[in-house]
Amino acid sequence: MANKQILMAFVVIMLFGVFGLAGCTESLDEYKMDKTIELQEYGDAKGEENYTAEKWMILQQAVTEGKQAVEGATNKSAVDAAVNDAKEAIDEVKEEREMADFVLTISVVDNTKKYGEDFVVYASLKNQSGKDISISYYYSPVTPFIENWQYPHPPFGMSPEPDVITIKNNESFHETWDIGAYGYTNPITEEKSSLPIGTHELKFRALIIIEQSETIIWSNTIKLIVK
């Protein structure tokens, strides 16, 4: 009788072990499924519209590789590690705005001046990305470019931390520049002077920095005539 009871107890323990193991396996599968969905939603939340086609493809590859790592995990800790690694890889793919999201235009009141006079130039940076954008910048969000000419920065220099402006969707940032009376460097003698007599091409550049991603926008080109 005692032997029979021992045998029955052994069978019960074995059955419990088998079904218990099956339950654990099922639980791990469910955990993997939940984490796979979580990973996909994490990637989707980044927003395809915030990336170039190439960057979005890289991000999606990180999601796919993360799912594969989750599927191959043998326990919940390994699943968690795979998800965390995949999220880090996704975060490393920085947003990169398309140039079409912004339009930089410049105009001049009078494009003909005497030597030593300033041209009054208006610069306008329009946000048409579909949402409000905060932009980091040093000194100014827009910078003028003329061959052999550089706008002198203030003597106190630039702040170690960038300033930030917010441009609402379909609105513009405007700035007025006085250009021409100084800042030109003679390429031979290296002497500083006003823009020399002749015709000079001017364009502006905007360096858009959003969450450590950079996009360079160029304006139209205008001619400045010095007589």
157 — phi, psi (to 5°)? Answer: 80, -170
Q: Is the pLDDT of residue 22 over 70?
A: no
Domain positions in the chain: 2-91, 99-226
Residue pLDDT, tens place only, 141-162: 888 999 988 876 555 555 667 7
Binned at pLDDT 50, 70 and 90, residue 13 comes out as very low
**pTM, 2 dp:** 0.56
Q: What is the pLDDT of residue 98?
A: 59
> Measured between alpha carbons, how far is residue 174 from residues 146, 167, 184 in Å?
20, 10, 24
Topology of domain 99-226 in CATH is Immunoglobulin-like (2.60.40)
127 in Cβ contact with 97 (< 8 Å): no
Q: Is the pLDDT of residue 129 over 60?
A: yes
Q: What is the pLDDT of residue 213?
A: 66
Report, at the CATH architecture level, how domain 2-91 is classified: Up-down Bundle (1.20)
Q: Is the pLDDT of residue 7 over 70?
A: no
